[in-house]
């Protein structure tokens, strides 16, 4: 919990309020779509689609909590704010959803179990470590007397390792995929790189500030929310499209029934 040094004016409040509301709507209705549409892919690939829906469902819940916390902390208040906006909700969300995002991308490829296990045994712990190491620095917690920059550097190590596995190790498996699937997977990796890049940038910008101020809160909440919507909702929809492509490639009857003119 972080007490903010200044209140938001009406424009700032409305910007964050509306962005959090957009986050709720995006996550909620993407979840509904993915669970309803899971029958439109072959059984082998439904798990990837359901994991995508689970990610957005978890995020929708946490956006409700963030929306409520933000509204409670700032709505209609004057003078100094004694309440606090709980930034920890985002990190709890990321701790659950970031590993699952990586599960999605591996599951939808339909790789051999040994290859899947090898990739996930490296990606999932690295994702959890990245989030757990980043939180103390971002929240400016006094743990082990380490500066936020140290926590940021420690969090970067598993982040770079994840990129290595996705771009190098996973790349070795793409040669077995069709050209349309390879194109979609490359889009997914670039989407993760672009959206995840928002988080360290925001972290660095806030690293040297003392306390929290209104402009910082607005910038980080808008930036994080946009990145979340793209990294979860758009990511999940691309996973669904890959599952559809691979279902059609595996089953010609499925292709005829789902993609007829």
Greater confidence, 147 or 1?
Answer: 147
Percent pLDDT > 70 in the chain is 89
Residue 220 pLDDT exceeds 70: yes
Residue 3 pLDDT exceeds 50: no
Q: According to the model, what pLDDT value does residue 53 have?
A: 97
213 domain residue, yes or no: yes
Kindly report the CATH number assigned to the domain that includes residue 110.
1.20.1070.10
Per-residue pLDDT tens digits for 115-138: 899 999 999 999 999 999 988 877
Q: Which pLDDT band, with edges at 50, 70 and 90, does 76 fall under?
A: low
Rg (CA), the chain: 20
Greater confidence, 89 or 203?
Answer: 89
Q: According to the model, what pLDDT value does residue 142 have?
A: 74
Rounded to an integer, the average pLDDT of 67-74 is 86
Distances (CA, A) of 229 to 43, 47, 49, 143, 224: 27, 21, 17, 31, 9
Query: Which of the residue ranges 84-88, 183-187, 204-208 has the most confident prediction, judged by mean pLDDT?
Result: 183-187
Percent pLDDT > 90 in the chain is 50
5 domain residue, yes or no: no
In the chain, the number of structural domains is 1
Q: Indicate the average pLDDT of the chain.
A: 85
Per-residue pLDDT tens digits for 237-249: 999 999 999 999 9
Q: Which pLDDT band, with edges at 50, 70 and 90, does 83 fall under?
A: low
Q: According to the model, what pLDDT value does residue 26 have?
A: 97
207 domain residue, yes or no: yes
Q: CB–CB of 53/31 below 8 Å?
A: yes
Q: Which pLDDT band, with edges at 50, 70 and 90, does 148 fall under?
A: confident
Domain assignment of residue 86, given as a range: 10-258
81 domain residue, yes or no: yes
Q: According to the model, what pLDDT value does residue 22 have?
A: 97
Q: Name every residue whose Cβ is closer than 8 Å to that of residue 84 and which is 6 or more positions away in sequence.
A: 1, 2, 3, 4, 73
pTM assigned to the model: 0.87
Whole-number Å distance between alpha carbons of 229 and 73? 23
Q: CB–CB of 212/4 below 8 Å?
A: yes
Rounded to an integer, the average pLDDT of 153-170 is 91
Whole-number Å distance between alpha carbons of 4 and 80? 9
Q: According to the model, what pLDDT value does residue 241 have?
A: 95
Per-residue pLDDT tens digits for 18-42: 999 999 999 999 999 999 999 899 9
Whole-number Å distance between alpha carbons of 253 and 230? 33
- Cα–Cα nearest to 235, from 199, 184, 200: 184
């Amino acid at each position: 919990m972080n007490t903010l040094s200044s209140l938001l004016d009406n424009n700032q409040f409305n910007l964050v309020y509306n962005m959090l509301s957009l986050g709720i709507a995006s996550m909620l209705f993407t979840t509904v779509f993915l669970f309803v549409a899971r029958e439109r892919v072959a059984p082998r690939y439904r798990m990837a689609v359901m994991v995508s829906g689970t990610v957005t469902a978890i995020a929708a819940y946490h956006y409700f909590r963030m929306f409520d916390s933000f509204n409670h902390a700032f709505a209609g208040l004057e003078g100094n704010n004694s309440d606090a906006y709980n930034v920890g909700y985002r990190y709890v969300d990321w701790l659950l959803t970031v590993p699952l995002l990586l599960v999605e991308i591996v599951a939808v490829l339909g790789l051999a179990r040994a290859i899947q296990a090898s990739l996930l045994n490296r990606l999932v712990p690295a994702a959890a470590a990245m989030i757990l190491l980043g939180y103390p620095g971002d929240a400016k917690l006094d743990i082990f007397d380490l500066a936020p920059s140290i926590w940021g550097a420690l969090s970067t190590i598993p982040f770079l390792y994840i990129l290595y596995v996705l771009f190098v190790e996973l790349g070795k498996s793409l040669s077995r995929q069709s050209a349309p699937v390879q194109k979609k997977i490359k889009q997914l990796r670039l989407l993760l790189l672009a959206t995840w890049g928002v988080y360290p940038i925001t972290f660095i910008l806030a690293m040297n500030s003392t306390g929290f101020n209104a402009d910082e809160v607005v910038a980080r909440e808008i930036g994080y929310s946009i990145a979340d919507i793209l990294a979860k909702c758009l990511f999940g929809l691309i996973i669904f499209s890959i599952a559809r492509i691979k279902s059609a490639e595996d089953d010609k009857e499925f292709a005829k029934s789902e993609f007829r003119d």
